[in-house]
Amino acid sequence: MSKRQERRRDFCPAGTDAGPGPELLAPAGDLERLDVALRFGADAVYVGGPRLQLRAGTVGFSMEDLSEAARRAHGAGMKLYVTVNAFPDNAEVAGIGDYAQALRDLGVDAVIVADLGAIAAIRRAAPELHVHVSTQANCLNYLSARVYRDMGATRVVLAREMTLEQIAELRAKVPADLELEAFVHGAMCMAWSGRCMISAYLTGRSANRGACTQPCRWSYHLMEETRPGEFFPVEEDDRGTTLLSSCDLNALEFLDRLMEAGITSFKIEGRMKSPYYVATVVNAYRKRIDALRSGTATPGQLALLQRELNAVSHRQYSSGFYFGEMQRHAPDGGVYLQDCTFVGVVRERLPGGRILVEQRNRVREGDVLEVLSPHSLGVCFAAANLTDLSGRALDAASVPMERFLLDAPEGVDAGDLLRIRTKT
């Protein structure tokens, strides 16, 4: 048995014997991001397929890609879940059973579903396929959770509006074999559990059909009725404002309390996020979970991992609703916060202390590079002896997606990511 498989066996949340956990569940928008999630410590990955998923426009896997994703996840001892969480109309209902059977035959471990009719259709057509009830179903109480279990669901993804106390009460009042999943990191929708009509109203693209244009994150100004064409900022900022946009969730500091409340799976939001984002966030949560389980968690480690989470693009962090009403949004002029610039992926470790890097952003001779690795934190080295693939010396590598070579210390390996810290 691999260390990854052992990791999932030896912890059970307090107050429940509902199976191994806590599971770290990561998003993936394509096979590259799936590989990154697995390498950096995810126990399971969730993806969208070609039908009825809520990121329909950009990150839907084909059936061939889902087959490959299942092969890679299972090869690493991990699981693959597929979102089927859009709300189907009459024309789509007839095909749900066939789709469920096809996903089962590909080796998918579970489907994430919101619609009651879709749950029933999947259970009839593919009873062996586990059903996880999506957060879009707004499950806030133990009576609803019991009903979903009676329908055959094995897991409920809780509504994001629940507090820790409400989760603990729900856990105590549902059967122990019903798993509970909760979001721990990522974007928070400004609407109730993501049920929003702003995108549909403004653009004709519905969030509940997988086509959200995220208008809550656009910049807005006011126009007074008698002065058409004159726009006034909601606050004094020449970049506009984003009053509708919520903070991002960050539960790293209180994962132990979520464990005690009975959460089986910790879910990271972000199927549209970059591989760098997925690697950074999964890495931080993996290390925190392992430290909590082993009794080695310290305030210093927590501070270091919070610094890691600041290295990716994010809105102001909050604790969501876990301690009551979510903190009110502090307008920031639409600026995303980020302490580091992602500069490249290490594709190969070469003889003589050299690495082959696929570039994302500019790197100059002498820049201090930080290494993002599942095996270490805080490793830095100066970029030296940059050359192109023909051996020609470079003062800087500046073409995204092209490859170049440079010297690197031992321990910097294929699959690691490189970044430059822009804010200390």
Q: Which domains does the chain have, with CATH numbers?
A: 3-191+246-318 (3.20.20.380), 340-421 (2.40.30.10)
Contacts of 423 (CB under 8 A, 6+ apart): 310, 338, 339, 340
Distances (CA, A) of 283 to 39, 143, 238, 287, 399: 9, 36, 37, 6, 27
CA distance 61 to 47: 7
Question: pTM value?
Answer: 0.85
CB distance 245 to 329 below 8 Å:
yes
Ramachandran bin of 15, using left for φ above 0, alpha for ψ from -120 to 50, beta for the remaining angles: left
Ramachandran bin of 325, using left for φ above 0, alpha for ψ from -120 to 50, beta for the remaining angles: beta
CA distance 81 to 86: 15
Q: Please give the pLDDT value at position 332.
A: 44
User: Residues 327-330: contacts with CB within 8 Å, 24+ apart?
Assistant: 327/247, 329/243, 329/245, 329/246, 329/247, 330/247
CA distance 215 to 245: 9
CB distance 176 to 17 below 8 Å:
yes
CA distance 210 to 301: 38
Q: Please give the pLDDT value at position 399.
A: 93
Q: Please give the pLDDT value at position 336.
A: 78
Query: Two tokens at 210?
Result: 């997988």
CB distance 55 to 136 below 8 Å:
no
DSSP designation for 246? P
The stretches of 86-237 forming alpha helices (DSSP H) are 90-93, 96-106, 116-125, 142-150, 164-172, 198-203
Query: Where do we find the tokens 């009551």?
Result: 324
Q: Please give the pLDDT value at position 353.
A: 96
Q: Please give the pLDDT value at position 227.
A: 75
Q: Please give the pLDDT value at position 187.
A: 85
Contacts of 75 (CB under 8 A, 6+ apart): none
Nearest CA-CA partner of 361 in 335, 377, 338 = 338
Contacts of 174 (CB under 8 A, 6+ apart): 142, 145, 146, 149
Q: Please give the pLDDT value at position 196.
A: 64
C-alpha count within 13 angstroms, C-beta hemisphere, residue 96: 29
DSSP designation for 247? P
Output the DSSP codes for 275-344.
HHHHHHHHHHHHHHHHHHHHT---HHHHHHHHHHHTTS-BPPEE-TTTTSSPPPP---TTPPB-SEEEEE
CA distance 142 to 147: 9
CA distance 140 to 157: 10
φ, ψ of residue 41 in degrees (nearest 5): 120, 10
Nearest CA-CA partner of 53 in 115, 109, 106 = 115
CA distance 90 to 118: 11
Nearest CA-CA partner of 324 in 85, 158, 164 = 164
Which residue positions in the chain have pLDDT lower than 70? Answer: 1-21, 54-59, 189-202, 204-224, 231-246, 326-335
Q: Please give the pLDDT value at position 41.
A: 97
